[in-house]
Structure 1
Amino acid sequence: MFTSTERIKPDAQTIALYLENVLSHKYQIPTFQRDVVWEKENVKKLWDSIYKFYPLGSILVWKTNTKLESHREIGGIKLADNFHSHEYQYILDGQQRTTFLLTSIYGNKIANKKNFNPTLYIDLTIELTNVTDDISYAKRFLFWDEIDDRDGQIQANTGKKKPLQR
């Protein structure tokens, strides 16, 4: 029999490896988890922490041989419907961060936020004003509806309301 210290242990992963594992259907979201509730401001602050090399907090994954009812999507990414295994991994804490890390990078839709495009854009010309700068992130990290590149000025996208043509 394992003691609790033998069973619970941290596992340091890069964000890229973690998201790769999400995309390869390694994790499931149990049905008792709440829906996505984060707003734009939360997403920007998450990316500001990454930008400043601050810790993001932990993501709690429960490894078990118990199969639970689970959601089939995270950030619009369909998880395997026929998820059969001898070991299951459920995200118990960190669903909001996982959803917005995934959708900020890869795009997609979030089930209960139909009119929200979670793709995030970064303006690297916005510099930190000092070591305790907690306001520049709002101009550095932008969602599409906050961008209008008229004359190189960032303004509310009230005129176009459509993505840039590439």
Structure 2
Amino acid sequence: MFTSTERIRSDAQSIALYLESLLSNKYQIPTFQRDVVWEKENVKKLWDSIYKFYPLGSILIWKTNTKLESHREIGGLKFADNFHSNEYQYILDGQQRTTSLLTSIYGGKIANNENFNPTLYIDLTIEHTDAIDDTSYTKRFLFWDEIDDKEGQLKANTRKTKRYQDKLIVSLLDIINKYREIEKTFIRVLMENTIILTYNN
């Protein structure tokens, strides 16, 4: 007879490692899970919590030697359909956050919005504020349709396009893969301007 502590235990893991494990088929999402309701605002709020080091809650994983039918695609990203193992790990709670994290970093496709690119970018020039009603995350975290000025046709995005070209707006994947390079670019721009950059749309 197992005690509850033996049956359920917590395991802290970085977001990057968790997603790498998902991409390598360590975790599966069973098909009985409800469909994901993906919204831009909620994805930005999720990353704002990460940015501010707020707890994200737990993701419940069920380990079993039983093979269930599982999703072959998450956020448009394909997973192996002939995966076999001695032990399976199914995500029972946390599919929404998992899909949001995965598509924010690696891109993909959103159901019912196939032409939308869910890759998320961060504007490094947006200052942090401790205000309780802080809404700066809406400007700090951006999707490509909020950056692209379509070669000057969309004037509202012109300055953001320029910051993207100056590498002051970068993708989350770039932060993972090119952190030192991004840090050097940001410091160089600050030194060249000799002022604190502020947001000016």
Deviates more, 1:32-41 or 1:127-136: 127-136
- Give the Cα separation in 2 of the matches to 1:48 and 1:121: 12
Q: Which moved more, 1:44-53 or 1:127-136?
A: 127-136
Cα shift readout 1:82-129 (whole Å, capped 9, x = no counterpart): 121121111111111111211111112234431321011111111123
The equivalent residue for 1:47 is: 47
1:115-126 paired onto structure 2 within 5 Å: 115-126=115-126
Structure 2 stretches of 5 or more lacking a match? 166-201
1:100 match: 100
Q: Tell me how far apart the structure 1 counterparts of residues 148 and 16 of structure 2 sit (CA, whole Å).
A: 30
Q: Is the 8 A contact 1:148 1:155 kept in 2?
A: no
1:34 corresponding residue in structure 2: 34
C-alpha separation in 2, matches of 1:95 and 1:112: 18
Asked if the contact 1:28/1:79 (under 8 Å) is kept, the reply is no
Deviation at 1:156, TM superposition (A): 5.2
Larger radius of gyration: 2
| Change in CA separation of 1:113 and 1:28 when aligned onto 2, cut-off 3 Å | farther
What does residue range 71-90 of structure 1 map to in structure 2 within 5 Å?
Answer: 71-90=71-90
Q: Does the Cα contact within 8 Å between 2:31 and 2:70 map onto a contact in 1?
A: yes
Q: Which amino acid aligns with 2:26?
A: K
When normalised by structure 2's length, the TM-score is 0.71
The 5 Å alignment of 1:119-134 reads 119-134=119-134
The separation in 1 between residues aligned to 2:129 and 2:87, in whole angstroms, is: 48
State the alpha-carbon separation in 2 of the partners of residues 127 and 92 from structure 1: 37
Give the 3-state SS of the residue equivalent to 1:30 in structure 2: coil
Aligned-pair distance for 1:155? 2.6
Q: TM-score, normalised on structure 1?
A: 0.85
Paired residues in the alignment total 159
Higher helix share: 2
Map 1:55-70 onto structure 2 (within 5 A): 55-70=55-70
Q: What is the letter of the counterpart of residue 6 of structure 1?
A: E
- Tell me what 1:155 maps to: 156
CA contact (8 A) 2:38 2:110 kept: no
Q: Determine the structure 1 residue equivalent to 2:11.
A: 11
Displacement of 1:78: 1.7
Match for 1:144: what amino acid?
W
CA contact (8 A) 1:35 1:112 kept: no
User: Partner of 1:155: helix, strand, or coil?
Assistant: helix
RMSD after superposition: 2.6
Tell me the distance in 2 between the aligned counterparts of 1:9 and 1:25.
21
Which range moved further: 96-105 or 127-136? Answer: 127-136
The gaps in structure 1 that reach 5 residues or longer are none
In 1: Cα distance, 2:44 partner to 2:19 partner: 18
Percent identical across equivalent pairs? 82
One-letter amino acid matched to 1:20: E
